Structure 1
Amino acid sequence: MTRYLLVFIAFVISGCGTLSPKSNADWVGYKESGKGSYYANSHQSKKTASGELYKQELKTGAHKVLPFGSLVKVTNVDTGKSVLVKINDRGPYVKGRVIDLSKSAFSEIGSISNGVIDVQIEVIE
């Protein structure tokens, strides 16, 4: 019985080393379309998933899987306006939304009164 347990543990440990997440460079050129929204004022100065504090005046965003520090071009599909943001948080967690933006980033490409806009995102670096 002990032998089987040791074999199982060795198998599990050896399998852990074979999974390697994508590096930031592997994401360059990645594109995605969907809805973009922005953080509510209540998030100001709260910790993001990366450990940084959310500051609505900075150009930052949240994405479900892109590596922290990724530079992403976010384009408003209707107007063609775009903004560069750094990914420093996880989300959004609303179906159909692909990115949450800081208030200042969102206001560069859309009207805050709209709240949600159609966007395309592209990883730049």
Structure 2
Amino acid sequence: MHMPKFIALLFILLLAGCASQPSGTIDPHGYKADGKASWYGSAHHGKRTASGERFDQNALTAAHRNLPFGTLVRVTNLSNDRSVVLRINDRGPFTRSRIIDVSRKAAVALDMVRSGTAKVRVEALER
């Protein structure tokens, strides 16, 4: 085989391998992570989420980069031990230092509205 044909074949195989990769979601089974949470509210209220739903700041929902839509997670504020169960329905956060964005209602339940952020533990729940 000539070298240019070999390189072309290698390139095609590489592209085919990339195309078969998962769409970025992860298996929620056993998922647990600690990190920083933030919240979002009225500026996004009524706008479409990545899942296609309209965002409701008064619902118990959250945005996560990789967990599948519909995944239920328990989010616990590590400074006060308050926790809430949320449903993933959006993508984000878009700030690297954060692992989840929660709705305003969730932020109230976690007592993090005033601070804007909190150190949290996120655990996927089994259905």
Fold conserved between structures, TM > 0.5: yes
User: Which residue of the partner structure matches residue 54 of structure 1?
Assistant: 55
Compared with structure 1, are the counterparts of its residues 69 and 78 closer, same or farther at alpha carbon in structure 2 (3 Å cutoff)? same
Deviation at 1:124, TM superposition (A): 0.6
User: Which residue of the partner structure matches residue 121 of structure 1?
Assistant: 122
Deviation at 1:12, TM superposition (A): 7.3
Deviation at 1:40, TM superposition (A): 3.3
User: Which residue of the partner structure matches residue 30 of structure 2?
Assistant: 29
The answer as to whether partners of 2:40 and 2:101 remain within 8 angstroms in 1 is: yes
RMSD across aligned positions (CA): 2.6
Deviations 1:88-122 (A, max 9, x none): 00000112111000000111011311111110101
Q: Name whichever of 49-58 and 108-117 sits farther off.
A: 108-117
Deviation at 1:29, TM superposition (A): 1.7
Identity percentage over the alignment? 40
TM-score, with structure 2 as normaliser: 0.80
Compared with structure 1, are the counterparts of its residues 112 and 18 closer, same or farther at alpha carbon in structure 2 (3 Å cutoff)? closer
Deviation at 1:15, TM superposition (A): 4.4
Q: Give the 3-state SS of the residue equivalent to 2:114 in structure 1.
A: coil
Q: Give the 3-state SS of the residue equivalent to 2:112 in structure 1.
A: coil
Q: Name whichever of 26-35 and 90-99 sits farther off.
A: 26-35
User: Which residue of the partner structure matches residue 67 of structure 2?
Assistant: 66
The answer as to whether partners of 2:41 and 2:57 remain within 8 angstroms in 1 is: no
TM-score, with structure 1 as normaliser: 0.81
User: Which residue of the partner structure matches residue 79 of structure 1?
Assistant: 80
CA distance in 2, matches of 1:46, 1:22: 23
Report the residue type matching 1:115 in the other structure.
G
Deviations 1:25-61 (A, max 9, x none): x312211111111103110000000000000111000
For structure 1, list consecutive stretches of 5 or more residues without a partner in the other structure.
none
Deviations 1:50-89 (A, max 9, x none): 0000001110000011111100100000111100000000
Moved over 3 A (4+): 10-24
The answer as to whether partners of 2:25 and 2:67 remain within 8 angstroms in 1 is: no
CA distance in 1, matches of 2:23, 2:40: 28
